[in-house]
Structure 1
Amino acid sequence: MEEDVELRAITERTKGDSPVPEVSRRISVSEFSCHCCYDILVNPTTLNCGHSFCRHCLALWWVSSKKTECPECREKWEGFPKVNILLRDAIEKLFPDAMKHRNEEIQQNSDIAHSLLAFHKYGNDQIQATPNLGRANRQRGGGFFSGVLTALTAVAVVLLVYHWSSRESEHDLLVHKPVAKWTPEEVILWLEQLGPWASFYTERFLAERVNGRLLLTLAEEEFLKLPYNIDNNSHRKAIIMELERVKTLGVKPPQNLWEYKDLKDPTWKQWREFLVKYSFLPYQLIAEFAWDWLEVHYWTSRFIIVNGMLLSVLELFSFWRLWSRRELKTLPRRMWSHFWKVSTQGLFVAIFWPVIPQFVCNCLFYWAVYFNPIINIDLVVKEVRQLETHVQ
């Protein structure tokens, strides 16, 4: 039978010392029921959305679905849910008999014990993974501007690594020397910078003593014939495309950060366009770079472009989430936390980069290129479903 409790609240006396009538109301166990098991709340755990569930019910839900979202409204929770101590103590004082009976039932269920153990282990892992945040409030899509912060740190790391690994002496770079004045050795240097595959053709160019003037006269038909004999269609198109850029600029276009830093300062219009994209669409810059290499790296470029679009969508969802919850004031703290995390990781990579096997680097690179888009598609789908639930 459902247990009822009568509550009485006697207010303070007024200034005239006249007593106030006693107020009473009967409450039942059903008013403190869990929306998962529809029984009295045991160790009630309140989520960010405001809904409360038994802690073991929430653990069973998480173990079965592996979703960090409310079982009722499907809103994702932030951090690791904690027991609502005030609500727990109130229920235990109001309904001691019902709580005793309910606890005995839970203790006899081994599935609940295993689920709670796994759930608490997950919570400890979350807390250890975010020691600098004070609480686990990370979101799976990344915070707004996280792409910008990641790009800043990545540029710094690349500069350090490139500086340490560069073996080139400070000679006159081809980005300043007119192509008509290139020597055969400098033509080979230009060819090798197109990619590792260019090493197959360096001996043929050296044998013909191809200098800058001769290079400008070559056409696609001549690359098909002897002595060049470039049969690979992708390699031939890459050389032709880069040769057209050389003819247009009159010098070798820069291909790395070290060569870009020696160019003339960009115009204000270029700076304005770059800063707008860098601030609001950082991944579009990467997608635009990949777009120029579609004819050479067919699948890789498309994977990069798709991943850039997905990451931009996730950034917009993150900003919308902050805006809808009126948490924009937490943006500086989130940015600093993300910057600190990425900086420490980048410094670790920069220190141990020389000793990391090339095979491991290649595996990580291709994993990021080809599998990250699949992961991000799943994240976008979840964000869209959450948005639909919120709108409804």
Structure 2
Amino acid sequence: MPRGSSKSSPTRAELNLSGISESEFSCHCCYDILVNPTTLTCGHNFCRHCLAQWWVSSRKNECPECREKWQGFPKINILLRDATDKYFREEVERRKVEIQANSKISRSLLAFQSYGDHLNQPRTIPTRGTNSFFSGVLTALTFVAALVLVYHWSSSGVEQHVLIRKPISLWTPEDVVSWLELLGPWAQLYKEAFQQENVNGRLLLMLGEEELLRSPYNITNQAHRRAVLAELDRAETLGIKPPQNLWEYKVAHCRMSVFLVYGLKRSPRLTIFYMYLFDYSESFLPFLHTCCPAVPDIEQSVESKYLDKQVAPSWQQWAEFLVQYFLIPYQLITAFAWAWLDVHYWTSRIIIIDTLLLFMLEVTTLVELWVIARLRTLPIAMWDHLCAISHGFLFTIIWPFFPEFLCSCYFYWALYFSPIITFSSVVRRVMYPAI
């Protein structure tokens, strides 16, 4: 017969007479005629799109029927494909039209092929050992750098953070003067009076509004007096000097700071909700007021900042906070870091960069779930995420038994070096969205 001539597909009767059974050319997944048949290492045959949909939904490199793992990347069986095209031409053509019209199947095939391209790419890399070597060197260098930073900050901050560790009842008059100086430049007006009265920690806790108004303190400015009383109330509640920056908070709450750094990176929504439930006054209220500040009053003094962090948020603040909490939680962390830019110059910038990378990682994950039709795997992904978050809660339970030096190492690692890992994850997710 000439090459350009056409021939209709054999009928069922002709196939039965020739000894060919339709079941021999059926997919083991959809039980229909094979389209682009793909043979696995176990010998089972599947339609290409059926195997792609199975892989997208399960993310397992195993046979859908016998669960044996396949080796390499499955390819189309050319001989079997030619046989199905010859004996079942009309059926195959009909099914190909249906497959092309189904966008969900097309996305599954695209994701499956991208996965195969990624598997084949490492073969072009000349030496894998070289990458492992440099990866090990980078890990060792970052670990050494973390140890140096921990040692430097731990040794240099002993004197600076002495009031954070020392109970107020044990404060000396010099400690009280140091505490007063930390309130702001306006507190210098009253330092001499505290020095003359030789006020120590016990006497400081006994001071009230009437005592501060009378001689020798003479704090007649209402804003100044309220700021001093607000800080005294917080100090009496905590038993130590209230933390005023990141490093003081870490000294006062070493284990909690490790949990917050870990939790806000991995699951900001759950961590912020945890702060609301169990650390409302100490962490949540200052966080909310910093991220979503109230509209400033023109007549409001600078000293009122000691009171604003503890007042109940307005409904406008709650509305702004909740919108960002549910839609863009990393924006809250970015706003918080931006507010502390003058105090923590480089640290705030590193946190902002890290939150931008984490936001990109979250967006690419959502796009992958929606576009590549992995919604069926959402429960599995959520379970894996909850398991990862549980590790952070586990730290708060078992880490009090670990030396504080180890907690500091993990804190600085998560704060300064994990952005490198986040950047690597973003690059991998953007380049290989189906992986």
Answer whether TM exceeds 0.5 for this pair. no
Name the structure where helix makes up a greater proportion of residues. Answer: 2
- TM-score range (shorter-chain normalised) is 0.3 to 0.5
